[in-house]
Structure 1
Amino acid sequence: MKRKYLGLRGSRRRERGAVSVLVAISMVVLLGFAALGVDYGYLAYSQRRLQSATDAAALAGAVDLWTQSMDTVSSDAQAFSAGRNNTLPAGVVPASAVVTGLKLASVTLPYAQAVSGNNGIQVTQQATVPLYFARVFGKTQQTISATSTAGAGGGAEPALYNVMIVLDATRSMATTTDNHCKDSKGNSQTRLQCAQAGALKLLTGLTNAGDNVGLMAFPPQTSSSYNFSCTGKSPTVASSYSASGLSYQISQLGTGYLGSNGKVSTTSSIVQALGGGNCSGMPAPGGLGTFYAQAITAAQAALQATSSTQHPAGQNVIILLSDGIASSTKTQLGSTYTSQYGSECYAAIQAAAAAKAVTSTGTSTLIYTVAYLGGEASSAPNCDDGSGGQDTTPKVRTACGTMQAIATSQSYFYSDTCSNAAGGTNSLNTLFTQIAYSLTKPRLIPQTAQ
């Protein structure tokens, strides 16, 4: 019995020893996996930081593609790459970023018109990540890489735009052709048709379908609830610019003007008013002469009402499309604006100045103007701006001078005829491409985009 007992006790000792060995081996394996997990986590964290840096670099370079050389684009992108203005985790060493300009068909903005010659940019960067626990397996470091592609944009823009297009629908716009604007058959179109086609091009040029775009027109109409529809009634022109209850609104500020395919949506009120799809667009009733000061004021009020509900507030924009000369009779102006007779241009310039003024929130409305003169810049009648001795500007302005004075600055003034317009004279399609670009935000796009 004693021998049997001793044998059993020895067996148990051997079992405990075997279990201890297994536990020790398991602990080594578990600690190894934990150590590798730490290294893997550090690799993943470093990869995310590197990707964020290349995203920032691509966006920084995309901002300058339109207006700067490729050398400047590359330099600005490098400034935001990893190791420069974007730091990486401790011990991670980045290599220099590789910046490549791209000519992408998937980007609306045309690369042929960009100073850099490109409308896209790709940034690729590598970095070396130190490993700690993996060194027991002979692995001391790991190379990671990240690539970002961005489409061109016009600047460091806000997240959202509120754009009100103000369209001159007076009789001269509908009865006068513009030789700088032709249809697909080469026939000259009226100024109104040119303006409508240009505004449609602007809609398709906006890269953010979340931007709010609306349409106003003058002369004003009698119904404040009017919203254009091809199947609805045309607006009824008010009896004067001083009539009660009048409205300039043709299509309210909103989205929905672009379909999922990036083309204009033919069910949108603003697209129909501009002649999109099978709709002939809004008419030009005329009848009240030209007095667009109140249209500018109405546009500003609508924009402010929208931006006041946004957090943060979007950038408000007015785009005025007209042949530039404001003139009406005292009867057309009505009792409220009779005092403006003879100084209609000055009234518009003053209304624009109020819209451009910086508000208490530090924001101001940007005003673009497009003058449709069709070769009449020199022969069109001058406009008394009513300033007299109030300022140093000439008392009499040309159509070109009036439209430039309304714009935020000369760089916001466009024309197919006026030599003082931004970039000189260009085709109307080119003009609206340029405006769309300035309202375009740079954005990251899939690397597979062509």
Structure 2
Amino acid sequence: MRRNQRRTRLARQRGAVAILVAISTLMLLGFVALGTDIGYVVYSQRRLQAATDAAALAGAVDLWTQSWSTAKTDAQSYAAGQSGATGNGLPGSVTVTTTTITGQQLSSSSSPLPYAKAASGYNGIQVQQQASVPLFFAQVFGVKTVPISATSKAAAGGGSQPAPYNVMIILDTTASMNTTDSNCKINGVTQTRLACAEAGAQSLLQGLTNAGDNVGLMVFPPLSSTYNFSCSKKSPGIAGSYSASGLSYQISPLSTGFLSTSGTSGSSSTTLNTSSSTVQALGGGSCSGMSAPGGLGTFYGDALYAAQAALLTLSNTQSPPGQNAIILLSDGDASSSSKQLGSGSLLAPGSSGSKVTASSIVGSECADAVTVANSIKSSVQSPNTTATLIYTIAYIGGESGANTTQPCSDASSNAKGLDATTPWSPCGTMQSISSGSGYFYSDTCSNAGGTSSLGTIFTQITYSLTKPRLIPLGAT
């Protein structure tokens, strides 16, 4: 009797264990199934976020120099669920339900590039995407899909080419640059226009730590002979005219080494190298830097040609060629006399080795510079390179050149001059020389799409040579 009871009890225990094992197995399978579904949702979410980031960056590349429709189209092409080489596919049967792309007008704290100067009208872009993820095992419980979403925001950048950058700075050193600029103070002291320009150019060099490899410096009026600035070396003096033989616009050749190198793995710092010819010329060495000797009036067409020639000489030795850029600072007010210009003519390098001739006579100085600039902007070295970018800074400093109706040159002295047929103003000329709205800056000219101090202008130019970047979603 007692033995039968024991057998019955053991049988019941075995049955209970079997039931527990079955229940545990089902629960374990349920957890595995749930884990599989959750893992698939997480993986899909990451893929969606990566595609959304790519779309925002693709659109941000265009904001500075392209229309909003172009930026939006390019962003869309990199979004999730798009076919083609740039499209970012999603796993399995995950489908995109909505894609929303909006332009952003960000403050300077979020994007150093002002939206007022951007060709698209925006300096930021936001991409939002939603998708539906199908589930496998959760369908047993009536849950067939799970919605996921991703949002990404990017600030504009102007650089679309890889380093190196070859940057030639051209500064106006005519006599007017010796006047003071009440809007430019350093350590509480009002600066001359030249000192202000030099300080701005120094900030450009400091910002080129990761954006530019080679920087050179040219000035106008030209020097009587070739010269490489040094605090201990005397300048050869100003040329007799803009068409004199043997003249040179170069103060410092295109080179690296304008920044110091820190002691850790050769990484660059933002400290200027005071042994650099360019840094010394800009007042960063043991002397006060270059001066504004005057002697000749303003004529910048030849300086543009000289800068382009130097850039091409360097970039033709690079593999692949670097992105060439010219930064021209002037008040844009051409003022040379017939004697100062001389009787020379200008040959500008054109595409496919052709030449463009522009007359350097009184009354045609502004049209001359625009002709040269247009030739430079259309000249492409090879299918793998882009044309030289031209940044212009119309530095009026409170002078009369701020008046958009003022003639750029004294065309009245030569009725046949090209500037008489097209009424160029200083602001209009500098705008036309530039590569576009995102490349024209000024402290005064209203057509620059917003005015700023020289320091801010050079900072914006530096940033326009860099890539766009992702920013926090809360950035405004």
Pairwise TM-score range, normalised by the shorter structure: 0.5 to 0.7
Distance 1:222 1:348, change over 3 A: same
Distance 1:65 1:340, change over 3 A: closer
AA aligned opposite 2:377: K
Q: 2:444 aligns with which of 417, 431, 450?
A: 417
Counterpart-to-counterpart distance in 2, 1:80 and 1:350: 38
Distance 1:122 1:258, change over 3 A: farther
Once the two structures are TM-superposed, the CA of residue 178 in structure 1 deviates from its matched residue by: 2.5
Distance 1:385 1:121, change over 3 A: same
Q: 1:162 aligns with which of 156, 166, 185?
A: 166
Match runs of 1:59-78 below 5 Å: 59-63=57-61
Distance 1:207 1:440, change over 3 A: farther
**Per-residue CA distance 1:123-179 (angstroms, 9 max, x = gap):** 89898988999xxxxxx999999998855413x7222433211111122212x2233
Distance 1:208 1:145, change over 3 A: farther
The match for 1:137 is none
Corresponding pairs, count: 410
The match for 1:372 is 395
The match for 2:272 is 265
Q: Could you tell me whether the CA contact under 8 Å between 1:264 and 1:271 is conserved in 2? A: no
The match for 1:435 is 461
Counterpart-to-counterpart distance in 2, 1:405 and 1:67: 15
**Structure 2 portions without partners, runs of 5+:** 1-36, 138-143, 261-266, 347-358
Match runs of 1:222-371 below 5 Å: 222-224=224-226, 226=228, 228-229=229-230, 231-240=231-240, 241-258=242-259, 263-267=270-274, 268-276=276-284, 280-334=288-342, 336=344, 340-343=360-363, 345=365, 346-359=367-380, 361=382, 363-371=386-394
**Per-residue CA distance 1:7-48 (angstroms, 9 max, x = gap):** xxxxxxxxxxxxxxxxxxxxxxxxxxxxxxxx9x99999799
Q: 1:394 aligns with which of 421, 426, 434?
A: 421
Once the two structures are TM-superposed, the CA of residue 108 in structure 1 deviates from its matched residue by: 5.7
**Per-residue CA distance 1:275-301 (angstroms, 9 max, x = gap):** 337653222222233332211110011
Q: CA RMSD in A?
A: 5.3
Q: 1:184 aligns with which of 184, 187, 191?
A: 187
Counterpart-to-counterpart distance in 1, 2:257 and 2:50: 32
Distance 1:113 1:395, change over 3 A: closer
Once the two structures are TM-superposed, the CA of residue 320 in structure 1 deviates from its matched residue by: 1.3
Counterpart-to-counterpart distance in 2, 1:198 and 1:280: 15
Once the two structures are TM-superposed, the CA of residue 360 in structure 1 deviates from its matched residue by: 6.7
The match for 1:407 is 434
Distance 1:164 1:376, change over 3 A: same
Distance 1:427 1:209, change over 3 A: closer
Distance 1:290 1:347, change over 3 A: same
Distance 1:294 1:51, change over 3 A: same
Q: Could you tell me whether the CA contact under 8 Å between 1:220 and 1:248 is conserved in 2? A: yes
The match for 1:171 is 175
Bigger Cα displacement from structure 2, 291-300 vs 273-282 = 273-282
Counterpart-to-counterpart distance in 1, 2:117 and 2:371: 34
Match runs of 1:120-135 below 5 Å: none
Q: Could you tell me whether the CA contact under 8 Å between 1:383 and 1:399 is conserved in 2? A: no
Q: Could you tell me whether the CA contact under 8 Å between 1:242 and 1:333 is conserved in 2? A: yes
Counterpart-to-counterpart distance in 2, 1:172 and 1:336: 25
Once the two structures are TM-superposed, the CA of residue 193 in structure 1 deviates from its matched residue by: 1.7
Counterpart-to-counterpart distance in 1, 2:234 and 2:461: 29
Counterpart-to-counterpart distance in 1, 2:360 and 2:194: 26
The match for 1:7 is none
AA aligned opposite 1:237: G
Bigger Cα displacement from structure 2, 438-447 vs 143-152 = 143-152
**Per-residue CA distance 1:417-446 (angstroms, 9 max, x = gap):** 333x31154433343344344333214689
Distance 1:403 1:281, change over 3 A: same
Once the two structures are TM-superposed, the CA of residue 366 in structure 1 deviates from its matched residue by: 2.9
Bigger Cα displacement from structure 2, 50-59 vs 245-254 = 50-59
TM-score normalized with structure 2 length? 0.64
Q: Could you tell me whether the CA contact under 8 Å between 1:223 and 1:235 is conserved in 2? A: no
Distance 1:398 1:94, change over 3 A: closer
Helix, strand or coil at the partner of 1:166: strand
Q: 1:196 aligns with which of 195, 198, 202?
A: 198
Helix, strand or coil at the partner of 1:263: strand
Match runs of 1:197-212 below 5 Å: 197-206=199-208, 208-212=210-214
Bigger Cα displacement from structure 2, 283-292 vs 333-342 = 333-342
Counterpart-to-counterpart distance in 2, 1:332 and 1:74: 50
AA aligned opposite 1:375: E
Q: Could you tell me whether the CA contact under 8 Å between 1:372 and 1:417 is conserved in 2? A: yes
The match for 1:8 is none
**Per-residue CA distance 1:94-144 (angstroms, 9 max, x = gap):** 6878999898979765899999999888989898988999xxxxxx99999
Helix, strand or coil at the partner of 2:431: helix
Q: Could you tell me whether the CA contact under 8 Å between 1:264 and 1:276 is conserved in 2? A: no
Q: Could you tell me whether the CA contact under 8 Å between 1:95 and 1:127 is conserved in 2? A: yes
Counterpart-to-counterpart distance in 2, 1:337 and 1:171: 24
Counterpart-to-counterpart distance in 1, 2:437 and 2:127: 34
Counterpart-to-counterpart distance in 2, 1:343 and 1:115: 32
